[in-house]
Each structure stands twice: as structure tokens, then as C-alpha cells.
Structure 1
């Protein structure tokens, strides 16, 4: 009898990472990673770009107004508004670029309806962490180091465990001066992930820091679109859970991802494209051991959306009350 060995199955990915800093009334660092199979990337980019054209009669986008496929029915100021940088934090009430709102909503719907792009989000509760656990210098950077690896590892485990090898072509990160200068972040982190996976996970390059504004000369405009995409998604998720802003426009946009959050909350494994976890469940405390050495009491664990009551209401209660 001859034995047949299973064929090696390989998937190649690009990953886009962004984070949201803690705020006065929400002491969580929120980290998010977008995983895109390289053979699906061009198609997704075309979808995101074409959404930027807000003319119902034309669904083809060109960044340049001079080369706009719908130039006969377009104006430069309209085109410039559609060509805005997408950031969830830029969504505000009052005088607002309506294109920013409409494009953001459509981008979120593209993610929710898709089956071939994947998001892992990790919220780290700083109220439950003794920061000295991570060292005293550049504490937030040290926290990013630790949880960046968790973010990547858990995303790959959740979405790509069926493959015998996961090849990471490029990892893109919004420009962060402190992280760019941190030797461990951009070298040892990737080596450690590969080593701990017994080289099931491999990396072709180091982390690439790029400007998220695709209009800036010298940046990588196509990859900047994906940085904006992950920024929008983690901003919308964070707003649903914590609602640190009372902006009705932010809520209007964030509701477009609520269906995925409800699905994830009801059954964690029901969503095939999204994972959200929180750490730690219990406070990590500094203690002194029997030898009078500093140690830490750890009864920590990750926990999930079913432990939360979303702060942002499912519907616009103000509007509902007005319509009654």
C-alpha cells in the first residue's frame, strides 16, 4: 500500500494594521488588522475606488479630475470632495463633506457583504493593566509590540488555519514615528511570529510605514486606500461598542457594520470574516513574591462581544421620536 502525503496548501496575504489611541472616557487601545489574500486585492481596490464616484450614472473612478470618465457631468470641487481621505475621526456633525459620509457607508457595506477579506480587532483595557508590566520606557510602544503579535497570530489562526503555510507578502502600517524607530517592532516581532509558528507563517518583507493620505506625493496611493479602509472599520466598531462621541453622523455611518457585530455577539463563530476580542478580563496586579521580587498576579483571559452591551443604540432614537 502506498501512502500519499497531503499536498502543501499556501495562501499569500497582505496585511494592513491601524490602531486607535485611548481617550479620556475610553481607556482602551484598539488594534485592527485587515487581511487580504493577494489574489483578491486588485478586485477589492477597484470596488473601493469606484465607490468614490458619487454620480449614479457612472461607477468608474479616476483620481485625476482631468481623466474623470464622467467629466462632462462632474465638477472639480465635486471630484475633490469624492477624493477625500477617509478617516472615521473626520466624520463630524455640522458642516461636513457629504461624500465622506456616503463613501464610508458604502465601504462598510462592501466589507459586510464580502467573503474574501478578513478583519481581526483587539481592544486592550489599560485600566486592567499595570503598565510597569511592559517596562517604563515608551510604554504604549511596548504594549503595541506585545499585542501586535497577538493581533496577527489570532487573525491567521481564525481565518487561515486550513492552510499548511501562510506567506505574508507585505504588512502596511500608517506612519508612526515612534514605532518606526523601534527596532524590536519591525524586526524581532516578525521573527518571533514565524519562529513560534514553526515557520508555518513566513514574511517576505519588513513592516512598511506609509502615509494614509493617497493624495500625498511619494506615498503608495493604492495601499493608502486600504489603510483608510481598516481605519474606518475599527473606528466604526469602537463607536458601536463605546460611543465615545455623541456625533449623529458617526452613528449614522457606524450602524452600517452593526449587522456583523450582532452576528458576532450572538454566536462568535457565526461570522467568517470578523473577530473582535478584549483583554484582559481580570485586572493584572503587581505583587511581591516570597523572595521579595516583583511579580504579577495574572488571572487574565480574552473575552468577547457577548460580555458587552453596546453603548451606541441600534437605531437613531432621536429621529424615531421625531417621526412618531
Structure 2
């Protein structure tokens, strides 16, 4: 039976992550893969979670049109309508921002519980192990990101879909959190998707009845703050950019323990058990967390660049892993200590 899937991809990044133990620096690329069949229901679920009333009839952008306006207040509605961004969330953030962000991450776990995991792939690039000169004297970050962006998407499109029972994959949209450097990069906005499609087609050309189509010609850059969006679809897409930002932030906090802020730790602890299993036992098909071939976290490269064989071709080409499969690696444990709070929700308790 031939199976096809059409999806949207949402991408966020994180710069200059410091491993305080090793003094190694990383950048992270996180991609969220949302099928068109799941898109509307997922965004409606996220919007409903913005309302903190226990019983309500849904969410609307404007207070005047809110179904719960009779028991709500304009000031409350505005507080619920804020952008969610892991880096700016902290212990002194507003109560609604903290509660909504927690509800969103618990929603991610709920989807895992019901074997409907939200697909994501996170790649941490070890900048300390790279020769920055290889990426040019100026704009090295954008040049490096240009390559590893495709590495992330290529892995997920093959692992989650083309090598996981789907014969045809159609990408209908690729949305990236707004970044001026990437938006004006010589290659990034246009060349990446074309090259990604060519590379994957070449790799699957011997596969029977397998195909990939990437419809957009350009990557769409969008400010993740939905209040700045020009239309309703962009507002919906902003919710997914905020969601992938929260997932990436929680993963980084768990793996590297980047902040001692009480609320950042509380947010990270919600996903702690899931993140732990993704880095220690990523290929477990029997996990009750149902993440196998749906969620992934990896690191690159495992050794200094000069020790890796023929990885780079030229600045506008992709990362090429030819012989050394060990260039991708996993970390052994999470640096964030486990919660000692008796009321902290762990995934095991959440799934009961």
C-alpha cells in the first residue's frame, strides 16, 4: 500500500551554547514536522491552552470576540496573548506566560502518551570541533548554519518518513524564525530547499516507489511574535515557532544546565524524562514514550574537523558523511539535576 504525507516544517535555532564543564561551544538547530492532517487540530489545541479558564469554549485573538469574554477581562486576555520564548521566560515572568508554557510542554507529553508524538529533530553542532576558517572569514555562523540546516532536515525526512513506511513525502511550507543574517544569506533562503530536494532524490533513487517533493521555492522567515503577523495563517505558524522554541529551550536546559533560574528549571523538568531517553536510548521501538522514528536529538561532530575525512566540499554544499558514521554522537547524561520537588510532574507520573 502506497502511503504519502504532506507536511509543514518549522525551524528555530540557538546560538553560543556553552558547556561549562568542557568549555565547548555549540549551536543548535531544531525542526518541527507537522503534517497537514495534524496542522489545524494541533494549532487549535495550542490556542485553547492559552485560555487559563478551566471551562471555556475556545480562544480568539481579540478579547471582543472571545467566547469567554463575559467571564474574562481585557487585561487577562492580553496577558494570555503574549509570545512564548524560552530565553525570556523566568521566575518573575507573568503568571499566564509561565502557566501557558507549562501547559504547552505537557501537551507535547500528552501526544507522546497517545502515540501521536509531535515530530521534531534537534541537532547540536559542536563549534569547538569545527575549523571556523572552513566557513569563511566573515559570516561564518550563517555559512555553517547553511550546511547543518540541511543535515537536520535530511536526516528527519528520511528517518521519520521515507525510511519509515511513507512512499511519498511532500513539503508544503518551510518556516524559519526570523533572522536577518540568514534571510539575506547568499545561499540560505533559496538554494537550500532546492539542494535538499536534489540530495534526497539522489539518495533514494534506487528505492522502489519513493519520492520527495519540496514545493516552496524559498524559506519563509517569520517573526515568532504572532501579534506582528499580517494574517491568520501567519499567526497560526507563529504558534509552531513558539512551540519548537520551547522544546529546544527545554532540551538545552536539560542537557547543558545553562541557567539556574527556578522557572527555566521547572519548564525543563517537564520534558526531562523524554529528553533523557532520546539521548540515551534513541532507537527503542518499544518505548511507552512512542518517540522512535518521530523525535531525535544528536550531536556533531564527535572529533576535531581535521580528523574527519572529506566532510566538506565547498561553502554552498552540504555536510557529507561518507565513511565515518561516528561523527554523530550522543551525550551520556543530562547536566540538569533531577527535581527534588515532590509535586514536580515527571513523564512516568504523567503517563499513568
1:170 lines up with 2:173 in the alignment: yes
Matches of 1:77 and 1:59, distance apart in 2? 19
Give the C-alpha shift of residue 113 in structure 1. Answer: 2.2
Of 10, 13, 20, the match for 2:7: 13
Normalised by the size of structure 1, how large is the TM-score?
0.87
1:236 counterpart (240, 246, 250): 250
Q: Distance in 1 between matches of 2:340 and 2:68?
A: 35
Report what 1:210 is aligned to: 222
SS in 1 for 2:243: helix
Q: Which residue does the alignment assign to 1:250?
A: 264
The range that moved more, 15-24 or 122-131, is: 15-24
For 1:12, what is the secondary structure of its paired residue?
A: strand
In structure 2, C-alpha distance between the alignment counterparts of 1:68 and 1:197, rounded to whole Å: 45
Which residue is 2:50 aligned to? 52
Q: Deviations over 1:183-203 (max 9, x none)?
A: 311222112211122273221
Q: 2:157: which partner in 1? A: 156
1:282 corresponds, among 303, 322, 339, to: 303
Find the partner of 1:71 among 62, 69, 72. Answer: 69
Q: CA deviation at 1:231?
A: 0.6
Which residue pairs with 2:205 in the alignment?
none
Query: Could you say if the C-alpha distance between residues 259 and 319 of structure 1 is closer, same or farther in structure 2, counting changes exceeding 3 Å?
Result: closer
C-alpha distance in 1 between matches for 2:26 and 2:83? 25
- Please state how far the C-alpha of 1:259 moved relative to its aligned partner: 2.2
Asked whether the equivalents of residues 280 and 332 of structure 2 are also in contact (C-alpha less than 8 Å), the reply is no
Mark the runs of 5 or more structure 1 residues left unpaired by the alignment. Answer: 1-6, 288-297
8 Å contact kept, 2:280–2:333: no
1:255-282, Cα deviation, whole Å (9 max, x unpaired):
1111211332342123233100001111
State the partner residue of 1:4: none
Deviations 1:192-217, CA, capped at 9 Å, x for gaps: 21112227322111211111110115
Q: Distance in 1 between matches of 2:109 and 2:60?
A: 25
**Equivalent pair of 1:122/1:278 in contact (CA under 8 Å):** yes
Residue 318 of structure 1 deviates from its aligned partner by 11
Give the CA RMSD over aligned residues. Answer: 2.2
Select between 9-18 and 265-274 the one with higher mean Cα deviation: 265-274
Which runs of 5 or more residues in structure 2 are unaligned? 203-210, 285-290, 309-322, 345-352
Residue 10 of structure 2 aligns to a residue whose secondary structure is strand
Aligned length in residues: 301
SS at match of 2:201: coil
The whole-number CA distance in structure 1 between the counterparts of 2:44 and 2:167 is 30
Q: Secondary structure at the match of 2:121?
A: strand
The answer to whether the 8 Å contact 1:193/1:201 transfers is no
SS of 1:29's equivalent? strand
Match of 1:301 in 2: 327
Would you say the 8 A contact 2:257–2:336 is kept in 1? yes
User: C-alpha distance in 2, partners of 1:234/1:179?
Assistant: 19
Query: In the superposition, relative to structure 1, how do residues 157 and 217 fare at CA in structure 2: closer, same or farther (>3 Å)?
Result: closer
Q: Is the 8 A contact 2:250 2:268 kept in 1?
A: yes
Q: Tell me which structure has the larger Cα radius of gyration.
A: 1
Residue 3 of structure 1 corresponds to which residue in structure 2? none
User: 1:247 offset after TM fit, Å?
Assistant: 0.4
2:86 corresponds to? 88
